[in-house]
């Protein structure tokens, strides 16, 4: 975590230095103007410390507004950097006067920031059907898969209600959550737990821990999930109904994490349909022989679509959707409902996943 924070603030400071140089080059700023700009940019670099502190101390309303402005600014700075690089490359072919280039960069950055924030409300529903001989003929099971709500300073009731609307419409047999449900201080957030607890599917609700649950306090995250009605699976498996097994592991983000998939699947009955809940969308050689379906999140589809389709697909099995791992074995990755950083997405909107399990061919006896 210390290394991550050091890397983050170093990179974020360099982005602001780049922004400073561009603004100075494109604007006629005097000494006082430059001084004010330095003070403002330094404050924005350190602003994540302020809103995390406010959230930790329970100032939820104030932390929301500070966090929203801080994170929206963060997204704007990232877009500024990308747009500026693109314009600089184009300027090698056809030079653009610095002041005009700055205006174009600022306009593009602001437009992309506004659009990307709006996109975070465009929830998609992905549907996948999986046939298996491990269910009896005529037996269909529907699973609602949610991930990455990042409930905390910014993400709150609106994200939960997105999920509830889908739940009421789909009426699933089971609900699973694959990590990063919690991303802040959940004291005083009983209303969110109560909303989530209103989902009462007949086969139950199950959750695993992602990296942000460990960053924000694993014990309080588990308590919140349990108040919300989820059974948190940590290196264990359970029989669910007559035909399913659901197993789960933690994200390996701390000394208290249990991410040993061999332990989680030890003694599992493979004559049943086995589902592994795992935040990180990577599949281990140890787990693959025992599972029929892995459900994951974490990727956010890259947040910016081109990162998902390029970088993340080199790192993980996939950044979104369903992929067949071997005959009859699948992974399904949700892009998540919330955002863990800037409240923005670019052509990678939030989603929930509906999975229909059914039997086709040689079906199991009832």
**Could you tell me if residue 363 is inside a domain?**
no
335 C-beta neighbours (distance < 10 Å), count: 26
52 in the same domain as 11:
yes
| Domain limit, last residue, from 119, 142, 166 | 119
Cα–Cα distance for residue pair 359/258, rounded to 1 Å: 33
260 in the same domain as 235:
yes
Rounded percentage of the chain residues whose pLDDT exceeds 90: 85
147 in the same domain as 81:
no
156 in the same domain as 70:
no
138 in the same domain as 111:
no
> What pLDDT does residue 173 have?
97
Q: Is 285 helix (H, G, I), strand (E, B) or coil?
A: coil
Asked if residues 104 and 333 have their Cβ atoms less than 8 Å apart, the reply is no
Cα–Cα distance for residue pair 302/68, rounded to 1 Å: 20
| Domain limit, last residue, from 83, 100, 119 | 119
What is the extent of the structural domain holding 279? 124-358
Q: What is the pLDDT of residues 22-54, one digit of tens each?
A: 999 888 889 999 999 999 999 999 999 999 999
Provide mean pLDDT across the span 162-172. 97
Residue 3 binned pLDDT confidence (cut-offs 50, 70, 90): confident
287 in the same domain as 149:
yes
| CATH code for the domain of 134 | 3.60.21.10
Report the domain count for the chain. Answer: 2
Provide mean pLDDT across the span 215-224. 94
- Please indicate, yes or no, whether the overall pTM of this predicted structure exceeds 0.85: yes
80 in the same domain as 169:
no
Q: Is the pLDDT of residue 360 over 90?
A: no
- State the average pLDDT for the chain: 93
The H or E element that residue 240 is part of is strand 236-240
Q: Which of 294, 214, 286, 202 minimizes the C-alpha distance to 248?
A: 294
The H or E element that residue 276 is part of is strand 273-277
| Percent of residues in the chain assigned helix, strand, coil, to nearest 5 | 45, 20, 35
Residue 4 binned pLDDT confidence (cut-offs 50, 70, 90): confident
Cα–Cα distance for residue pair 133/304, rounded to 1 Å: 38
**Could you tell me if residue 11 is inside a domain?**
yes
41 C-beta neighbours (distance < 10 Å), count: 19
**Could you tell me if residue 169 is inside a domain?**
yes
For the CA atoms of 280, 287, 206, 141, the dihedral, rounded to the nearest 10 degrees, stands at 110
Q: What is the pLDDT of residues 88-116, one digit of tens each?
A: 888 777 777 878 889 999 999 999 999 99
Q: Is the pLDDT of residue 366 over 70?
A: no
Integer CA distances (angstroms), 194 to 152, 167, 178, 227, 228, in order: 15, 15, 19, 8, 6
Provide mean pLDDT across the span 302-313. 93
Contacts of 48 (CB under 8 A, 6+ apart): 70, 74
> What pLDDT does residue 361 have?
66
Q: Is the pLDDT of residue 358 over 80?
A: yes
Cα–Cα distance for residue pair 244/270, rounded to 1 Å: 10
> What pLDDT does residue 1 have?
67
**Could you tell me if residue 364 is inside a domain?**
no
**Could you tell me if residue 266 is inside a domain?**
yes
∠ at Cα 179 (177, 181), nearest 5°?
80
94 in the same domain as 70:
yes
Q: What is the pLDDT of residues 241-254, one digit of tens each?
A: 989 999 999 999 87
Provide mean pLDDT across the span 269-282. 96
Cα–Cα distance for residue pair 184/338, rounded to 1 Å: 13
| Domain limit, last residue, from 100, 119, 138 | 119
Rounded percentage of the chain residues whose pLDDT exceeds 70: 98
Q: Which of 161, 212, 162, 160 minimizes the C-alpha distance to 182?
A: 212
- Residue in the structure block whose two tokens are 């975590």: 1
- The better pLDDT of the pair 217, 361 is held by 217
283 in the same domain as 223:
yes
159 in the same domain as 113:
no
> What pLDDT does residue 100 have?
86
**Could you tell me if residue 366 is inside a domain?**
no
What's the full length of the chain, in residues? Answer: 366
128 in the same domain as 113:
no
137 in the same domain as 78:
no
Cα–Cα distance for residue pair 242/271, rounded to 1 Å: 11
Rg from Cα positions in the chain: 23
């Amino acid at each position: 975590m210390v290394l991550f924070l050091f890397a983050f603030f170093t990179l974020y400071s360099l982005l602001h230095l780049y922004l400073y140089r561009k603004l100075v080059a494109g604007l006629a700023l005097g000494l006082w103007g430059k001084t004010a700009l330095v003070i403002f940019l330094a404050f924005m670099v350190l602003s994540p410390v302020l809103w995390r502190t406010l959230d930790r101390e329970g100032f939820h309303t104030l932390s929301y507004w500070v966090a929203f402005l801080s994170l929206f600014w963060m997204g704007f700075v990232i877009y500024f950097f990308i747009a500026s690089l693109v314009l600089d490359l184009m300027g090698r072919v056809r030079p653009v006067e610095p002041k005009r280039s700055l205006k174009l960069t600022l306009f593009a950055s602001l437009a992309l920031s506004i659009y990307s924030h709006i996109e975070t409300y465009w929830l998609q529903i992905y549907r996948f059907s999986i046939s298996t001989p491990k269910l009896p003929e005529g037996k269909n099971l529907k699973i609602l898969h949610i991930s990455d709500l990042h409930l905390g300073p910014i993400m709150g009731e609106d994200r939960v209600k997105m999920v509830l609307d889908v739940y009421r419409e789909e009426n699933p047999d089971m609900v699973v959550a694959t990590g990063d449900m919690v991303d802040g201080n959940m004291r005083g957030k009983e209303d969110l737990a109560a909303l989530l607890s209103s989902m009462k599917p007949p086969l139950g609700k199950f959750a695993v821990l992602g990296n942000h649950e460990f960053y924000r306090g694993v014990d309080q995250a588990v308590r919140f999930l349990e108040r919300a009605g989820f059974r948190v699976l940590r290196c264990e498996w359970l029989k669910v109904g007559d035909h399913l097994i659901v197993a789960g592991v933690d994200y390996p983000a701390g000394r208290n994490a249990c991410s040993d998939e061999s332990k989680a699947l030890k003694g599992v009955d493979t004559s049943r349909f086995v589902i592994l809940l795992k935040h990180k969308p990577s599949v281990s050689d140890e787990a693959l022989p025992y599972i029929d379906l892995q459900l994951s999140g974490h990727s956010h589809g890259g947040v910016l679509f081109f990162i998902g389709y390029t970088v993340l697909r080199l790192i993980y099995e996939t950044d979104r959707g369903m992929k067949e791992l071997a005959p009859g074995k699948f992974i399904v990755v949700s892009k998540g409902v919330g955002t863990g950083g800037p409240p923005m997405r670019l052509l990678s909107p939030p989603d929930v996943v509906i999975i229909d399990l059914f039997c086709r061919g040689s079906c199991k006896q009832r």
